[in-house]
Chains A and B, each alone.
Chain A
Amino acid sequence: MAAMITLTINGKTVKAPEGTTVLEAATDAGIYIPTICHHPALEPEGTCRLCIVEVSGSLRQGIRVSCIQEVKKGLVVETETEQINKQRRLILELLLGRSPDTPYLIDLAAKYGVTTSRFLTGESNDCVLCGRCVRVCRDEIGAYALCFANRGSARKITTDFERLSEYCIGCGSCAQVCPTGAIQVEDRGDQRKIYTWDQVLARFKLERCDHCGTPFAPKKYLELINKKAYQPKGLELVDYVCPECFKKRDRVSGRRQAAALRKSVVKWSVPR
């Protein structure tokens, strides 16, 4: 059990285990801090800069990003000062400039009173470059199918050489973590397509369930589950069972497998 640290957020005394971030501590205490690039399942990267907070007390007074700053004894955090909100509004306005038609961003910006943008870029791109998809693919799945291309303002999300990815396993995690729905997964018959606003990232043939015959998951994905969930336990995934059929089978032995496969029926695509 990690030692508990006491700090102050917006005048409220908050206790959090050592090693947690200010953002986590605030969220646990019911204090809202806006963020786009942060996702609880992913390592924080601190790039969207929306979660900025003002710190003082045991740290030199200044602005820090709360998704990276760890809690510290005696830390005093203010999440909604005038200065912080001023900068936040400007960041939101900039993002709105590149994604003026993205519902997620419109809602988030509206929370801070930003409804129009002086920074329209002339295009409307759902991707806000938060990088969640790249991180989940790289750090959690280990597929390295998605990456950032180019530098500076030309940065974008794509696959290697902007071709159909060889490394994508078709799990759809990218679409699931995408806050804006810029990445979509579409299953049609036994074909799965993963695509963005301007590029098809990968295509797959879905394997059929050995029991009901419904196409349900790409082979590479099932292989990964076999490798990550079965083989470490000395098991081997021999038959393909879709999640629906799983529920009907022997519940005791199937529970673990069902848990592993449940991901594939989650509605990962945020509706546009």
Chain B
Amino acid sequence: MNSKKSEQIVISVCTGTGGVAAGGYKVIDAFEACLRDSGLSAEYTPRTHKVGCRGFCAKDVLVDVAMNGQTATYQFVTPERVEKIVAEHIIGGEPVKKWLVKQDYHDFHSKQQKLVLANCGRIDPESIDEYIASDGYQAVRKALKMDPEKIITVIKESGLKGRGGGGFLTGIKWESCRRAKGDIKYVLCNADEGDPGAFMDRSVVEGNPHLVIEGMIIGAYAIGSTEGYVYIRAEYPLAVNRLRLALDEAREKNFLGENIFGTDFNFDIKVVLGAGAFVCGESTALMTSIEDKAGEPRPKYVHTTDRGLWGKPSNLNNVETWANVPMIIEKGAKWYTGIGSETSKGTKIFSLVGKINNTGLVEVPMGIPLRDIIYSIGGGIPKKKEFKAVQTGGPSGGCIPASHLDMPVDYESLYEAGSMMGSGGMIVLDEDTCMVDMSKYFLDFCKDEGCGQCTPCREGVAQMVRLLVEITEGKGTMDHIGILEELSGMIKETSLCGLGKSAPNPVLSTLQYFRDEYEAHIIEKRCPAGVCKALTTFTIDEEKCTGCTLCARNCQAGAIFGEKKEVHFIDQDKCVKCRICYEKCKFNAVQKG
């Protein structure tokens, strides 16, 4: 024991969704029990500390042990490992090296620039005092002394764009809502994150809910609103609980309510649980949903900043947009414009998922090359497979192929490449992904998740799905591509809301970059990636097969035969094309074609 007597030992355990799912709370309990038994408490006051998500969910439970002025991070911590960590590290002073994070953890973080996520994974999301201790609620104090017009000018100058997908300039939106005539105005926060594979907003609300609240107070003051709503997915119970707790704490401190921060400004925030529909993330649908009606979009010929929730001027921003506001007020527009690319300022959070080594949440400056995200931060593609494309922007987005790996990631470049920023989903696809199949997946998602009001989206998308299914089943003709393009154009031009207008994007962008794959399905009746079952057969290469029996033992259909140390073969009548043999074979003897 070499620590000084007064030093405090802090054990920070990740309790974001990933952390909790991996057993974060059990790890905390184990640490507490272990520390109690060790009898250290009186002398060294070690304490456990729950923190939000720091992004690297693939390595959960992550635990930081801070002592002697140094922090060591452990990965994959389980309650069973706790005893050894306490005995060797906390008591013995020597970290348990084999369980510490490896180089990939540092690589994952080194190219990131954490501004919005700065305190996620560092402070306890369930404690307002910790947020205040890390300079929280300073920006709002500053803002409340400023002229509202001045705040809007700062936001405008910062160039902050909506992080929810639209990319509209936040300052301009605030200004038009401020200028709109109305006795009551609303500020709304969209936390109805529904893109498949996206968890940016969830992590911010779970990891640092006060940041969002602070942003909303500043926005409300600037716009002249006294009432706010957070529309949050009911499927995010942890985020909902932490948000509610944070609101209660803020009310207790009079940061919300009447005469907040000792000024004559009144503002409070209500939480509305989402109705479980993807389309409710669309601005007008979100508002109708708050009004207790079916969450269906309305035609937007009058802006919601003029006539939104209950017909009143309403300003809707996404979680991440609100979370950007406090730092802009605190550090100024000039500082903020120094980060990011020429046209897109600040940072953007992406959820990096799919065929990537380092799955997780990353925050990078705008304009960072795509290659850096995939290879430096993401650690490349698993199993040495080849990178094929990255799907950005969720179901409404598109694919960026390997040829565009060096393009900067910002609103404009993504749009030019035929995709979009969206809310920040980034799904990495490798050579084993069939682009037709992927388009089918996203279109099918939109088919089920659209509201069904307008004809182009309801009938058109359903027909596109039917055509794509036919192509993947080998029943496609070249006419199918033509009809797909025809429908895409019509749906984009005539749909009622943003969901419909962007629903054909996955098809259009894959047609742009991977037309050959569509043609292979149609003309050669072959799925190049070996995904579409009707067009794929698996065979065993006699030269390469060593007769290790691994494939036969794993085949659930009992379709693989062969004696030990002899060449195996696949009974095509029994094969269900589950790909397990292909994935399992260590000698690349299973061929798809």
Contact = CB atoms under 8 A, between A and B. Distances in A.
Interface of A: 45-50, 52, 63-65, 68-70, 86-87, 90-91, 94-95, 97-98, 118-119, 121, 128-129, 131, 147-148, 150-155
Contacts of B301: 64, 68-70
B485 to A, nearest CB: 12
A90 B461 CA distance: 13
B452 A148 contact: yes
Given A49-B496, A97-B463, A155-B458, 6 more contacts: A49-B455, A49-B456, A70-B301, A90-B487, A118-B483, A152-B450
Given A90-B486, A94-B455, A153 B496 contact: no
A233 B458 CA distance: 46
Contacts of B456: 49, 91, 94
A50 B454 CA distance: 10
16 contacts: A47-B496, A48-B454, A48-B455, A49-B495, A87-B494, A91-B490, A94-B460, A94-B463, A119-B459, A128-B455, A150-B452, A152-B446, A152-B449, A152-B450, A152-B458, A152-B461
Nearest to A89: B490
Interface string B500-521: 0000000000000000000000
B345 interface: no
Nearest to B294: A148
B192 to A, nearest CB: 15
Interface residues of B, number: 31
A92 to B, nearest CB: 9
Contacts of A50: 455
Contacts of B496: 46-47, 49, 65
A49 B459 CA distance: 12
A97 B452 CA distance: 16
Query: Which residue among A63, A97, A119, A151 has the maximum number of chain B CB atoms within 10 Å of its CB?
Result: A151
Contact of A95 (B277, B459, B489): B459
B459 A151 contact: no
B299 A94 contact: no
- Rank and list the top 4 A-B pairs by shortest CB-CB distance, nearest first: A155-B452, A94-B459, A153-B462, A47-B453
B463 A151 contact: no
Contact of B490 (A68, A87, A98): A87
A45 B453 CA distance: 9
Contacts of B173: none
Contacts of A69: 301
Interface string B509-536: 0000000000000000000000000000
Contact of B299 (A46, A131, A153, A155): A46
B379 to A, nearest CB: 37
Nearest to A98: B459
A49 B452 contact: no
Contacts of B65: none
Contact of B454 (A47, A90, A154): A47
B493 interface: yes
Contacts of A155: 451-453, 458
B275 to A, nearest CB: 10
Contacts of B294: 147-148
B509 to A, nearest CB: 21
B285 to A, nearest CB: 11
Interface string B87-113: 000000000000000000000000000
Contacts of B279: 151
A259 to B, nearest CB: 33
A68 B299 contact: yes
A153 B460 CA distance: 9
B493 A151 contact: no
B299 A151 contact: no
Given A94-B463, A118-B483, A152 B454 contact: no
Contacts of A91: 455-456, 459, 490, 494
Contact of A129 (B447, B458, B486): B458
B493 A87 contact: yes
Contacts of B489: 87
A213 B483 CA distance: 60
Nearest to A94: B459
Nearest to B489: A87
Interface in B217-271: none
B449 A151 contact: yes
A49 B483 CA distance: 19
A118 B480 CA distance: 11
B149 interface: no
A153 B455 CA distance: 10
Nearest to A131: B453
Contacts of B277: 151
A147 B296 CA distance: 13
A118 B461 CA distance: 14
A74 to B, nearest CB: 16
B448 interface: yes
Nearest to B459: A94
Contacts of A153: 447-448, 450, 452, 458-459, 461-462
Contact of A90 (B299, B449, B462, B490): B490
Contacts of A154: 448, 452
Contacts of A46: 299, 454, 496
Contact of B463 (A47, A70, A119): A119
Contacts of B458: 129, 152-153, 155
A151 B452 contact: yes
Query: Which residue among A47, A64, A153, A155 has the maximum number of chain B CB atoms within 10 Å of its CB?
Result: A153
Given A151-B450, A153-B452, A155-B452, A49 B463 contact: no
